[in-house]
Structure 1
């Protein structure tokens, strides 16, 4: 029998309505188990680690990600896979962060949660939890079928660092527009093995040093020099710049000068698109050629969540801005596609 560790951090899946206040309050994992007796029928051994203080996902931060990475590292040689129960609001951030923090991962780390509490009559929690465990325990010739960090929601498993939450009211809460679904759940589980990462035959490492000295510059028509200057001169080593279309920005001289000044001061600027589908193509249009020439890093088709957490990870590994920019443009964990 395969061994699965469930890490319970919190989220809607572990909530129950207080009969007096009618508000949602967290419950412990034993109460979750009471609502899913079918777990005993799964052909795997389940162990559980619950956070002492159940966390609303809006309060997630790099310290908690490091704690999660430490738990996975501690149990890595003891179990065959991991299921992490997590609130959906920041799940893509946490899944993206852990994907970068885990080097040479050869076991499944599957995130799941729900849009309705597990005690609700129409809950999506039971199916999400049951299937996430089944995927995490799926083996072929003694090896995990999904040796990467993924998010399972509403009958689909997405690569964690390719996903984002797009809907707060449907069971179909997540999408991955720039990369195919890894597993689809129907009568049978259908694994798209060609799209799943192949593990390297090297020792697993958990990198727990993240640097969150990051600012975000989201462009819009008419953005003022004062706003741009304040963001670019913030006390941050890295800046994620959300641009138009294929990575384009205004070509006004004041804006280009601000970017050049920031880079000259040792800041790293990563260009990602505000579009959810498609990729940044620096140099394709005149409006982005200057960005490429001055050394702004190309984010290609990375999600916002992947860009933020990758920046945190890379800044924790390197000090040299040129090396940081080079790593940001490199596909480390299947988070981007070169075109």
Structure 2
């Protein structure tokens, strides 16, 4: 019988560190010896290979060029590999998992991001469980076909769709949540996969990578008393090609004339303005309240129930495409990787 082949990609982060028991110093883990250091992995019915970045990256230093590098590693090994597990620092993991979902086209194999809150060599570490279960999930097959065929994020007993996640806690083991979409799998006494929640794929050709990410964007969180002069300065800047506005509640913002006029002028000059809610859960519903009707009228694009992380990375990808204004709005407001709930 075919044994699934899994590639473990270490980019950096807490999960790849071990603590020296004598002086407490953290040093990088040698993933080439992973089967010797974590013998439980031998119980998994799969073959594991490893790849480590030459210089591990703290997740705070993660950049789009590294997303492309991860994607290229996966593409290079795609044909002979059945699943991929990406070890990553937790702080920006939701951005990376979201970005990877949009970078790939025709992905039909699992790419599971995971990490940990404590180093792999720590006595109370969460790293081993996250690592072992992520590899198990990446190796799941039915009739020779991967059960999971999308980018996921596994942390503390739950597998989430990567582009639906956000980091919610810096101290608890339950560091992530998917506020607007159910988890895909749960690890307990049994590993349960909710197959009806998984992304469905039709095999449309070989795996492709979108390499052109435009980073000339900004994120603006609204608050009562936001400065007129500062906002107008941001909107008039020719450096921005896209701007994500985190609005109140269901996509509401001040209806002051200066605010609406400034936004309308910027949109007319070509700025793509995206509306996402600053609430943890819920969706933008422009036009439901008077305070969002004018945003809809002037051409602000709805982010629906997308996370800010998904909106940021989708915007970077789409700005690198040659789309008309109407096409851009239509595609952004539609689910292309399960990142948004259709109305």
Q: Normalised by the shorter chain, which TM-score bucket?
A: over 0.9
Q: Structure 1, residues 295-332: CA drift from partner, whole Å, max 9, x if none?
A: 11000000010000000011111353433222211111
TM-score (norm 1): 0.97
| Partner Cα distance (1:18, 1:263) in 2 | 55
What is the number of equivalent residue pairs in this alignment?
A: 339
Return the match for 1:106 from 105, 108, 132: 108
Equivalent residue number for residue 341 of structure 2 = 337
The equivalent residue for 2:309 is 305
Secondary structure at 1:58's aligned position in 2?
helix
Picking from 25, 28, 49, the partner of 1:26 is: 28
* 1:254 aligns to 2:293 (yes or no): no
Query: Which residue is equivalent to 1:325?
Result: 329
Unaligned runs of 5+ in 2: none
The equivalent residue for 1:230 is 233
Q: CA RMSD in A?
A: 1.4
2:157 matched residue in structure 1 = 155
SS of the aligned residue for 1:317 comes to coil
Contact 1:180–1:195 (8 Å) recurs in 2: yes
Q: Please tell me whether residue 270 in structure 1 is matched to residue 274 in structure 2.
A: yes
Q: Is the 8 A contact 2:35 2:42 kept in 1?
A: no
Report the Cα distance in structure 2 between the residues aligned to 1:287 and 1:35, rounded to whole angstroms: 58
1:210 aligns to what? 213
Counting only pairs closer than 5 Å after superposition, residues 1-339 of structure 1 correspond to structure 2 as 1-18=3-20, 22-30=24-32, 32-203=34-205, 204-234=207-237, 235-339=239-343
How far 1:59 sits from its partner (Å)? 0.5
Question: Is the 2:255–2:291 Cα contact (8 Å) retained in structure 1?
Answer: yes
Which blocks of at least 5 consecutive residues in structure 1 are unaligned?
none
1:23 Cα deviation (Å)? 4.5
> How far is 1:41 from its partner?
2.2
Note if contact 1:2-1:44 (Cα within 8 Å) is conserved in structure 2.
Answer: yes
Instruction: Report if aligned partners of 1:69, 1:208 keep a CA contact under 8 Å in 2.
Output: no
Q: Are the counterparts in 2 of residues 167 and 174 from structure 1 also a CA contact under 8 Å?
A: yes
- Deviation of residue 125 (structure 1)? 0.6
- Contact 2:110–2:148 under 8 Å retained in 1: yes
Question: TM-score, length-normalised on structure 2?
Answer: 0.96
